[in-house]
A and B are shown apart, each in its own frame.
Chain A
């Protein structure tokens, strides 16, 4: 191979190593970014909705307790607002299904909430249920806890998924770093080898040729240089050798 080809090949190889490593690192980092967005947009949203639904349930429970104390107006007002908020949050959650198993969870919440709502929708004030804490704890509170547990399961599911995605993101970030590290180390090693070869096969022969030419001029020593490679340097050495032989012959005939 010609000298130009050899030197060019060295740089091309270096560029290939760095380009692939760089490209791959960028790809993995991009994925890390997308993963983080996913965590924020999807899973965190669902966890937030679960929190709000839990708050709505707590307010409903407070409303029911007010009804138990005979305060109909305040109780029904709180219940109405909390119910409306809960349904709104539940609808948001239904439109934000991103995790396997989330739909089943939400259906569960919906079913258990219907059963809970059925209980407090019916009149409580001025009935035998008013002040009847046995009924409250045995029926109402049990249904309340069922819904609350179902909502908690939704939060737990998204929590777990968020953790898994975060772990995968961590692994992706390691994968983004590692090609970079290996590319840097490989490039350093490659550069050392490249410089060694250039020194041995290009610089040294040129230095040898130069010193032999000097010796021919100054001390009339025959020009003999060994060039291992079959490239422009060998052609140069052979041309100079012919020139020196011609010059010697010319001087001798004089």
Chain B
């Protein structure tokens, strides 16, 4: 284990962070706001920590799987740590716990916030907040890989460590091409949405903030009432379209855009994703009509936005879903667990795993009836390796177990069980808002300090898809060879 080599690659992630902090600093000096010195100092500290390993450690294009995994985990943790510096130095409501929570929420694209009054923050700090989303959305390491020249085997190792195995399955491309596709689609969608929102009447700053949050499926708005602030169906439609696109596998989007757009619907996973969302929207609209909304249009408008927001793990809000009927809330909770497709910026269990889980169940039923039959799980005509299928099943089990354990721990701290459960599900799935006291118009400010640390751990576990963090933090694992 060459710790110095690991530090060299982590340094690139820190330099990327410092670049965006530098942009926020420029905004701060331009606006002459109170975050200038905090951002400047944070930029310098981060840049210095980023430059130093590059001075000492020579280039190394060859890293092991273990080293790659450690690079990913340390990059994420160190980014969250340096990301909290601007908040900590600015002060106000930002204690260390609050600053860490907000930073982790940003980088993991969860979108949960401890802020009661978001609009009290200076624009520069709001930009940094949104930038943490954008950096974390596609993955800090992917960003680094997309801007650095070819790095040899290290590139493949880092790509495999950062991108989930499920997403890699669908990416039938070399790592270098896959990185380019991911970064290209990500950037392209962001630019398109900025233009679209600007045309809808949003000012440029708000367009950038909300585009960062949409494409990263993060949900940090710079308005206290989130998207409801604009009260504009056009804005909501644009954001919904981009939320749906951000929930699709980026490789699929790329091939659809460069080839035949109909290719998107050839994918079983995509069809499941879109159909499940449509069914969810219809059911919730029906349930809300006559109860919370008197008109069909309103019922459809608000239910579709909320469902898509939670179902893509974005977390924007146009209504207070905490006061909706229990049935609708339960539907939304399901989508909080499922979320969108792998290979997108979405969190949650992922639609792919839900499909694999369902097909595993069907296969098991068939095997009970025909014990000697060989029944592969097929997705899009291709047999899914048994290892992938069993990993998907065990992932779902671990995922739900972690949500359950978090709920238990949080309820010990005095948080009501509904808020604890939905908050755990929302943070684990990197969705953002849960229900109860942490609902779509609420925040996490009233959660006890220890509760915020538990939620932060959930966010990181969810974003790093559980295994990476556990392996990195378990010294015993470093003695064995790791296949991930």
Contact = CB atoms under 8 A, between A and B. Distances in A.
Interface of A: 1, 5-6, 9-10, 13, 16-17, 20-21, 24, 171, 174-175, 178-179, 182, 186, 189-190, 193-194, 196-197, 200-201, 228-230
B41 A9 contact: no
Interface stretch (B51-59, B154-162, B443-451): B51-59
A186 to B, nearest CB: 6
B4 interface: yes
Contacts of A189: 49
B290 interface: no
B contact face: mostly helix, strand, loop, or mixed: helix
Interface in B235-282: none
B149 interface: no
Contacts of B49: 186, 189-190
Contacts of A24: 37, 41
Nearest to A181: B88
B342 to A, nearest CB: 35
Contacts of B70: none
B89 A6 contact: no
B46 to A, nearest CB: 10
B30 interface: no
Interface in B40-66: 41, 44-45, 48-49, 51-53, 55-58
Given A24-B37, A182-B89, A193-B53, 9 more contacts: A6-B55, A13-B51, A174-B91, A189-B49, A190-B52, A200-B4, A201-B4, A229-B56, A229-B58
Interface in B10-51: 37-38, 41, 44-45, 48-49, 51
Contacts of B37: 24, 175
Contact of A10 (B4, B52, B58): B52
28 contacts: A1-B55, A5-B55, A6-B56, A13-B48, A16-B44, A17-B44, A17-B48, A171-B91, A171-B92, A175-B37, A175-B38, A175-B89, A175-B90, A178-B88, A182-B41, A182-B85, A186-B49, A189-B49, A190-B48, A193-B7, A193-B53, A194-B52, A196-B3, A196-B4, A197-B52, A197-B57, A200-B4, A229-B58
Interface string B70-101: 00000000000000010011111000000000
A104 to B, nearest CB: 28
7 A-B pairs with least C-beta separation = A197-B56, A13-B48, A174-B91, A9-B55, A178-B89, A171-B91, A175-B91
A179 B56 contact: no
A contact face: mostly helix, strand, loop, or mixed: helix
Nearest to A14: B48
B402 to A, nearest CB: 30
A5 B7 CA distance: 19
A230 B48 contact: no
Nearest to A5: B55
A21 B7 contact: no
B117 to A, nearest CB: 15
Contacts, number: 62
Interface of B: 3-4, 7, 37-38, 41, 44-45, 48-49, 51-53, 55-58, 85, 88-92
Contacts of A179: 41, 89
A131 B226 CA distance: 69
Given A10-B52, A175-B89, A186 B45 contact: yes
A13 B50 CA distance: 11
A179 B85 CA distance: 9
Contacts of A190: 48-49, 52
A183 B49 CA distance: 12
A21 B41 contact: yes
B52 A193 contact: yes
Contacts of B55: 1, 5-6, 9
Contacts of B56: 6, 197, 201, 229
B111 to A, nearest CB: 26
Nearest to B92: A171
A66 to B, nearest CB: 56
Contacts of B44: 16-17, 20
A32 to B, nearest CB: 13
A110 B278 CA distance: 71
Contacts of B89: 175, 178-179, 182
Contacts of A6: 55-56
A171 B92 CA distance: 7
A197 B53 CA distance: 8
B45 A182 contact: yes
Contacts of B53: 193, 197
A200 B51 CA distance: 18
B45 A17 contact: yes
Contacts of B48: 13, 16-17, 190
B83 to A, nearest CB: 13
Contacts of A193: 7, 52-53
B4 A178 contact: no
B41 A13 contact: no
B268 to A, nearest CB: 48
Contacts of B90: 175
A117 B58 CA distance: 87
A89 to B, nearest CB: 37
A78 to B, nearest CB: 52
Nearest to B46: A186
Contacts of B58: 228-230
B458 to A, nearest CB: 26
Nearest to A175: B91
Given A174-B91, A182-B89, A230-B58, A20 B52 contact: no
Contact of A20 (B4, B41, B51): B41
A165 to B, nearest CB: 15
Which of B4, B45, B57, B88 has the most A CB atoms < 10 Å from its CB? Answer: B45
B36 to A, nearest CB: 11
A4 to B, nearest CB: 12
Contacts of A174: 91
A6 B53 CA distance: 10
B51 to A, nearest CB: 8
B85 A9 contact: no
